[in-house]
Amino acid sequence: MAKILEGPAMKLFNKWGIPVPNYVVIMDPDRLAQLGEANKWLRESKLVVKAHEAIGGRFKLGLVKIGLNLEEAIEASRQMIGAKIGTAEVGQVIVAEMLEHDAEFYVSIIGNRDGAELLISKHGGVDIEDNWDSVRRIQIPLDENPTIEQLTELALNAGFEGEIAERVGKICSRLILCFDNEDAQSIEINPLVIRKSDMRFAALDAVMNVDWDARFRHADWDFKPVSEIGRPFTEAEQQIMDIDSRIKGSVKFVEVPGGEVALLTAGGGASVFYADAVVARGGTIANYAEYSGDPADWAVEALTETICRLPNIKHIIVGGAIANFTDVKATFSGIINGFRESKSKGYLEGVKIWVRRGGPNEAQGLAAIRKLQEEGFDIHVYDRSMPMTDIVDMALKS
């Protein structure tokens, strides 16, 4: 799953003939002035300026400004670029034409097990939530795209009339092509607007998710997926992602500010149960982390050091199920090195470490990590006979 920013989404729409407003993405407000000299639409249309970043609730944060002329747009860009929102900094803005329009529609397409489902409604924009009954849907079986006639029929059912229904049908057809060919997982256009005077349509706002696993067959994907957690990734998260992309197996890390229990857990399934166990016992997690697929020891070491640096943590849960092929001895040697390194740098003061793990070479791995007790670590080590998530209970009771 990979959410992409509006700019790249617009580019893909354009590629597949889905109408978009004129837009530019800029990092330097002066560039907008230059673009204004070259582009009539920037001088003559009302403009909208939006922070082109993965920041949730942009409107409330003042990172969306509407109804501007070019001068005002340049000024708005100047204010937004470089603005700091928490750990995030606005690096670029998207400036688009605010198409004067007569109506706002809703179109979306979402993948499902058997293909995808297309949804349309005459009531787009902020009204869609209240008018969900007006949505008409069509299931698109895998590799069996509906005809334009079928889509026009759908539009008619949704209350579109005449030429507008035909045009909506055509746009839907192109949207399906885009969805299918770009390995998209979901596309939501809200609103799709129309200016009736010249029958001009445009997708004014769009959210698009693509299947990042399919990137090997998309030479023109020049974008990176953006964070889906309502904020950009932190530096530590980026670092672990970089490591993840280079190794066999995987390491994952997401920070949850304010938590007291850090997770250094193995396995995509088990790690979630560990997080659940912390929450169920009234604890707060400081992060979500996971390593699996027998990753290199240095990658696990880097993950360990990252976790040790989390502020104000009281416990670290080194948990995992009984591994099938992840070598416990090898991955634990990375964890042990990470703990030692962190301690020498002054981290882990007053932090309790709780270990439970099984799998290949479990006896050697557990014996090795148990030795940290002799080096002054507050570490509690258990083998497979300890139920998997019970170390969380013990940590939170201690």
Does residue 311 touch another protein according to CB under 8 A?
no
Name the minimum Å distance from CB 17 to another protein: 21
Does residue 155 touch another protein according to CB under 8 A?
no
Q: What residue spans of the chain are helical by DSSP H?
A: 6-15, 29-38, 40-44, 70-80, 148-157, 162-181, 235-246, 270-280, 297-308, 328-344, 362-370, 390-397
- Pick the binder of another protein from 89, 166, 183, 244 (CB under 8 A): 183
Does residue 16 touch another protein according to CB under 8 A?
no
| 91 versus 115: smaller Cβ distance to another protein | 115
Helix 297-308 vs helix 328-344: crossing angle, to nearest 10: 40
Site stretch for another protein (CB under 8 A), options 25-33, 272-280, 330-338, 364-372? 272-280
Q: 70 near 42, Cβ under 8 Å?
A: yes
C-alpha count within 13 angstroms, C-beta hemisphere, residue 84: 2
CA distance 41 to 70: 10
Does residue 397 touch another protein according to CB under 8 A?
no
CA distance 206 to 364: 53
Does residue 361 touch another protein according to CB under 8 A?
yes
Does residue 242 touch another protein according to CB under 8 A?
no
CA distance 387 to 228: 33
Does residue 24 touch another protein according to CB under 8 A?
no
CA distance 1 to 21: 26
Name the minimum Å distance from CB 141 to another protein: 9
Does residue 322 touch another protein according to CB under 8 A?
yes
Name the minimum Å distance from CB 68 to another protein: 30
Nearest alpha-carbon partner for 95 in 165, 21, 161: 21
Residue 314 identity (one-letter amino acid): K
Concatenating the DSSP letter of every residue in 215-261 gives GGG-TT-----B-SSSSPPPHHHHHHHHHHHHSSSEEEEEE-TT-SE
- Pick the binder of another protein from 60, 84, 113, 397 (CB under 8 A): 113
- Pick the binder of another protein from 272, 296, 330, 368 (CB under 8 A): 272
Residue ranges of E strands in 18-150: 23-26, 47-51, 64-68, 84-85, 88-89, 93-97, 103-112, 115-121, 136-141
Does residue 225 touch another protein according to CB under 8 A?
no
- Pick the binder of another protein from 234, 359, 366, 396 (CB under 8 A): 359
Does residue 61 touch another protein according to CB under 8 A?
no
Does residue 232 touch another protein according to CB under 8 A?
no
- Pick the binder of another protein from 147, 157, 312, 324 (CB under 8 A): 324
- Catalog residues that contact another protein under the rule CB under 8 A: 1, 111, 113-115, 142-143, 180, 183, 185, 211, 213-214, 216-217, 228-231, 252, 254, 256, 266-273, 275-280, 285, 288, 290, 292-293, 320-326, 358-361, 384, 387-390, 392-393
